[in-house]
């Protein structure tokens, strides 16, 4: 009997030690679980409402629809201007990303690989520009677009989006390119590569995680933008998807089923892009945090 007491005490002490070590991890998992529920519940609720009639949405709080009805999607595609706005958002976003890559890649390569006067000051300028909110320069952008005759043009706003995303893109790409060993540049130059070949065949492929990261960040920012498009695109024929969603309701009546279908229609491209590129995004953000 006396020999069992120390054994029980030892087990209790061991259990208490394991509990003290693991309770912080349990708290972390609890917080992440609550955050996941709070994030996923609105998405599931909107998806469920997109298959329900408006009366069923207002009278029932069921999470799952009674039956799968696609009338909301048919009405959205047939009656509203959301399909046209979807095409406008898609073309504007693609044009913005192309302009961003054309400017950001060579500029980041020059700042990362060349040593010239004021290079660090130029890099610090882009780093500081990350902190400047785009809304603060929107009045000046409106005045400039009005003077240049670009106000209301569908692809003129792509210049604004590319400019807004340029600081953070350059900041991330320069940190990636500076982490590439200089010995690779020397070996490529010895083998006969010029600067253009060095840029295209060595630096850009090794920076692909950073490129994917800035593309996803820019895609989400441009696709979800509302205020800049509201100011610079007054013509309804050129409105983006965010504007079309804001105007897809009457003054005295809201078709929540159709609105839910439109939201699902708008969110789907971002989910597809993330699902295909999530591994490179996570790798790129982690590597950028370490290299920075």
Tens of pLDDT, residues 181-199: 888 877 888 877 788 888 8
Residues 57-84 have a mean pLDDT of: 81
**Residues sharing a CB contact under 8 Å with residue 119, sequence separation 6 or more, in sequence order:** 111
Residues 116-142 have a mean pLDDT of: 85
Taking the C-alpha atoms of residue 101 and residue 64, their distance in angstroms, rounded to an integer, is 43
Q: At what angle do helices 82-113 and 256-291 cross, to 10 degrees?
A: 10
Q: What is the pLDDT of residues 164-186, one digit of tens each?
A: 999 999 998 988 888 888 888 77
pTM of the model: 0.79
Q: Which among 214, 77, 99, 79 has a CA at the least distance from the CA of 156?
A: 99
Average pLDDT, the chain: 81
Percentage of the chain with pLDDT > 90? Answer: 15
More confident residue, 151 or 28: 151
Q: Which among 95, 92, 135, 77 has a CA at the least distance from the CA of 239?
A: 92
Angle at 102 (CA atoms; ends 204, 179), nearest 5 degrees: 30
Checking if the pLDDT of 9 tops 60, the result is no
Least confident piece of the model among 3-17, 98-112, 164-178, 243-257: 3-17
Scanning the structure block, which residue is given the tokens 């929540």? 256
Taking the C-alpha atoms of residue 223 and residue 265, their distance in angstroms, rounded to an integer, is 12
């Amino acid at each position: 009997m006396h020999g069992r007491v120390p054994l029980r005490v030892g087990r209790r002490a061991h259990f208490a030690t394991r509990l003290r070590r693991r309770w912080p991890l349990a708290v972390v998992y609890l917080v992440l679980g609550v955050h996941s529920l709070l994030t996923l519940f609105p998405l599931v609720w909107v998806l469920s409402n997109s298959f329900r009639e408006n009366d069923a949405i207002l009278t029932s709080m069921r999470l799952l629809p009674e039956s799968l009805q696609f009338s909301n999607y048919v009405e959205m595609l047939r009656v509203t201007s959301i399909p046209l706005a979807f095409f406008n958002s898609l073309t504007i976003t693609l044009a913005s990303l192309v302009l961003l890559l054309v400017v950001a890649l060579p500029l980041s390569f020059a700042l990362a690989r060349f040593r010239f006067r004021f290079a660090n000051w130029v890099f610090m300028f882009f780093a500081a520009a990350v902190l400047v909110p785009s809304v603060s320069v929107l009045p000046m952008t409106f005045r400039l677009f009005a003077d240049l005759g670009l106000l209301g043009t569908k692809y003129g706003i792509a210049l604004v989006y590319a400019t807004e995303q340029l600081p953070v893109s350059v900041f991330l790409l320069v940190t990636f390119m500076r982490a590439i060993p200089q010995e690779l540049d020397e070996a490529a130059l010895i083998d006969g590569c010029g600067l253009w070949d060095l840029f295209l065949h060595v630096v850009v492929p090794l920076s692909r995680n950073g490129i994917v990261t800035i593309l996803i960040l820019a895609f989400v920012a441009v696709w979800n933008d509302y205020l800049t498009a509201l100011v610079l695109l007054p013509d309804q024929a050129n409105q983006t998807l965010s504007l079309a969603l804001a105007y897809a309701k009457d003054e005295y009546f809201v078709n929540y089923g159709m609105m839910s279908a439109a939201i699902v229609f708008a969110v789907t491209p971002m989910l597809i892009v993330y699902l295909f590129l999530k591994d490179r995004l996570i790798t790129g953000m982690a590597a950028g945090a370490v290299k920075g």
